[in-house]
Amino acid sequence: MPDSMRRVVFNQKGGVGKTTLVCNLAAIGAAQGRRTLIVDLDPQANCSHYLLGQAAESPGVTGFFEQHLSFRLNPQSPQEFIQSTAWQHLHLLASDPTLDELESKLESRYKMFKLREALDELHTHYDDIWLDTPPKLGFFARTGLIAAERCLIPFDCDAFSRRALYGLQSVLQEIRTDHNPQLRLEGVIVNQYQPRARLPRQLVDELRSEGLPILEPFLSASVRIRESHQHAQPLIQLCPQHKLTQQFNALYQRLQCESTSV
């Protein structure tokens, strides 16, 4: 079985749809029979609530990192911290708010490579691994970038997001140079796109002219996303024929085609 593809969705700006992208793209892969793991690195745990609709059943990512703060003769396997979701082939290393309490300890003890080592151990168990990150460049975002091979940046079509993109490229270059030479920017995902509005079209055209890898299709704005969050069901499960679901499907297929062509 080939090694899993590891993708991190990252942006220091909040509210751009990182969690929605991770959960929906991962759910599509799982629905197609691909063994899929999501790693929730955000103490807000939105990804975990989206997929579980309740508290995590295992220590999750907090338990995984906690064991690396104390010496253990027989540490638990990373697989023991992972739980199943309601959907076949879709698994989760869940987060919870107590994860935030570990950040300074993990950073001071330089544990930023532990997640990459764990995913190296798990690579034969999964076809796709997705990492959701918090909206700040702290320990958990960095450890996700170090553990991944490809980075996707969500862009929500406003001037603040455009300015933030330049800083994000510098962050990726730093991570590549210092910690993870395999990491590359796979693409910018245009989210909540309104094709009839002039500003989104203008911003996307400018990003393209600057050589940024803009992925298509663009994802439309839709109230269905809020309904999906409320029902704790990815769109492929809640409304498989919806326009936005089909856009997610097409985007996932594009990512798969690109990953097999490299």
- Give me the CATH number covering residue 111: 3.40.50.300
pTM: 0.94
**Sign (positive or negative) of CA dihedral 156, 40, 36, 12:** positive
**Sign (positive or negative) of CA dihedral 203, 204, 208, 214:** positive
CA 94 remoteness from chain centre: 13
Q: Measured between alpha carbons, how far is 136 from 151 in angstroms, rounded to an integer?
A: 15
Instruction: Encode pLDDT of 187-228 as tens digits.
Output: 999 998 888 888 888 889 989 998 899 999 999 999 999 999
The total of structural domains in the chain comes to 1
Map tokens 């918090």 to a residue.
134
User: Would you say how long the chain is, in residues?
Assistant: 262
Instruction: Encode pLDDT of 142-193 as tens digits.
Output: 999 999 999 999 998 887 778 788 889 999 999 999 999 999 999 999 998 8
Please give the residue range of the domain that contains residue 203. 5-261
Q: How far is CA 72 from CA 17, 35, 77, 109, in A?
A: 38, 30, 12, 16
